[in-house]
Every structure is written in C-alpha cells, then in structure tokens.
Amino acid sequence: MPSLIDIRRRIRSVKNMQQITKAMKMVSAAKLRRAQERALASRPYSNIMGRVLANIALATAGSDEVADLPLLQVREEKRVQLIVVSSDTGLAGAFNSNLLRAAQRFIDERRQSELRIETIGRKGRDYFRRRNVALSGEYIGIVEKPNIDKAREVAQKMIELYSKAEIDAVYLVVNEFKSVMAPHLVTRKILPVELPRYVEVSIYRAMLESLSAYHAARMTAMDAASSNAGDVIQSLTLNLNRVRQASITREIIEIVSGAAAL
C-alpha cells in the first residue's frame, strides 16, 4: 500500500497538471475566437467565387476559347497532387490522427495513380517522414499565422505544375471548423479550375479553417484532461483518507494492545 507521503505527492502532481491544462484551454479559447472570426469572414468570398465559377463553366460550355485555358483542361488523373493541412503542434485529441487517416485513405484509393504529397503543418510532415514517404514540398510554421502571401506561394506552385501538365488534379485534405465539439473533415478538388485566384483563396481558407478547428479541438481536449485530472484527484484523496484512517486505527490498536499487556 502506498504511503501517505506518496499519495500526497501524486495529488500535488496531478493538481499541477490540472492547472496547466486549464491554462492551455483558456489560451486556445482566446485564440479560437480570433481564428474563428477570420475563418468565417473568408467563407462568403470563397463560396461566392465557387458559384461564379460554376456559372461561368455552365455559360461557356462548348466554347473553344474557354476550353483552351490551361487551368480548365480536364485530364485523366494519372498524376495527382495531394495537399495535407495539419497543425504544427499536438495536444488536440484526435484532430491530426483523424485528418491523417483521411489522407491515408485517399492515398490507398489512388494506388494506380502517381501521387505527389505536399504538407502544410509539422504533424503531417512528420507522419509521412516516419513512413519514408518522399514529399514534394513542406511548409512549417504558417498554419499558426495564416496569410494570403503564403497561400499564394503554394497556389502558384500548383498552378505552374498544372499548367505544364506535370499534374492532372490537385486535392486538399483539411479539418474545417464546424463547431467547438466537432471539426469537419473535407477532401476538396481545387484544380482543374478556371481562376488562379480561386486556388489561392481555397488554400488560404484551408489554413484559416484548420487553425480554427485545431484550437477548438485543443480546447475540448484540455477541458477533458482537466476533468479527468479532477477525477484522479478525487480518487487519490479518497485513497489518502483511507490510508490515514487505517494508520490511525493501527495506532489505536497498538496503544490498546500495549495497555492490555501492562
């Protein structure tokens, strides 16, 4: 049976951990508010652009001039580019593991294609490195502070590859923000498409959505960790009281036994 000192030490340790998880939850809650505002602000522009592109495609169907646009060329998907948007850090429950499982399913379903993988976020990069998968590119440290310039850098690379027919399609796998309790996994095709600006906005929006979903997942994970720590503290406190009572009872028995012997 552990001693009173050991139990008190464990209670102290768990309480310290609980303080850390509560602080991390508060930090993620503050960051979530800012990230959510930016993600929600990007949605109307992206959605309207998508509808405009659909209308343009419908109106110009059969036009030889439009059919010659490099980014509108629809080819058999022999060479596919996948962009995986993960987070740079963990402690967010199943946020990254669910995303990477979705990416792996995408890869497994396209074994017949020549697949290129680009990662945005350290967790995605590390996942493929551990499996000795060669990456066509990696971007670290840009998810925490998304900006349109970085999105444009990735987009221009994709546009150039597609225009030169080095790839036949570009897909994006990302956790979009749905609610604090549940991110929404999305696999979206962003090329072929008519406008380069749409590719930029799609990648930028993916960064914003991923950041919001990450902080929501982290806040939920830290809340669960804090609650679990509270349960552990309660259990250890009960155990401490039992050990203390057993110790007192043993001392009383020893005193009574000594008195009876006298």
User: Given this model, what pLDDT does residue 11 score?
Assistant: 87
Q: Residue 112 gets which letter from DSSP? A: T
Q: Write down the pTM of the prediction.
A: 0.77
45 CB-near residues (< 8 Å, 6+ apart): 201
Q: How many residues does the chain have?
A: 262
- Which tokens go with 182? 């549940």
With beta carbons less than 8 A apart as the criterion, state whether 180 and 32 touch: yes
Q: Residue 241 gets which letter from DSSP? A: H
Q: Is residue 64 very low, low, confident or very high in pLDDT (cuts 50, 70, 90)?
A: low
- Which tokens go with 137? 């590119």
Q: Are strands 184-191 and 169-176 parallel, antiparallel or unpaired?
A: antiparallel
Domain parsing of the chain, residue ranges = 4-22+219-256, 34-218
Q: CATH number of 4-22+219-256: 1.10.287.80, 3.40.630.40, 3.90.226.10, 3.30.110.60? A: 1.10.287.80
What does the pLDDT look like over 97-147, one tens digit per residue?
999 999 999 999 999 999 999 999 999 999 999 999 999 999 999 988 888
With beta carbons less than 8 A apart as the criterion, state whether 45 and 148 touch: no
Region 239-250 average pLDDT: 83
Q: Is residue 59 very low, low, confident or very high in pLDDT (cuts 50, 70, 90)?
A: low
Q: Is residue 154 very low, low, confident or very high in pLDDT (cuts 50, 70, 90)?
A: very high
In the CATH hierarchy, which top-level class contains the domain 34-218?
alpha beta
How far is Cα 15 from Cα 192, in angstroms, rounded to an integer? Answer: 54
Q: Does position 87 have pLDDT exceeding 90, yes or no? A: yes
- Using CB atoms within 10 Å of the CB of residue 252, give its burial: 0 to 12 exposed, 13 to 18 middle, 19+ buried: exposed
How far is Cα 120 from Cα 125, in angstroms, rounded to an integer? Answer: 8
User: Given this model, what pLDDT does residue 41 score?
Assistant: 80
Beta bridge partners of 171: 82, 189
How far is Cα 215 from Cα 63, in angstroms, rounded to an integer? Answer: 46
Q: Does position 253 have pLDDT exceeding 80, yes or no? A: no
Q: Which stretch of 60-64, 183-187, 216-220, 227-231 has the lowest confidence by average pLDDT?
A: 60-64
Q: Does position 94 have pLDDT exceeding 60, yes or no? A: yes
% of the chain residues with pLDDT over 70: 86
The whole-chain average pLDDT of the chain stands at 85
Q: Which of 143, 36, 24, 177 has its CA nearest to residue 92?
A: 24
With beta carbons less than 8 A apart as the criterion, state whether 214 and 175 touch: yes
User: Given this model, what pLDDT does residue 202 score?
Assistant: 87
User: Given this model, what pLDDT does residue 56 score?
Assistant: 58
What does the pLDDT look like over 162-221, one tens digit per residue?
989 999 999 999 998 887 776 788 998 888 875 767 788 889 989 999 999 999 999 999
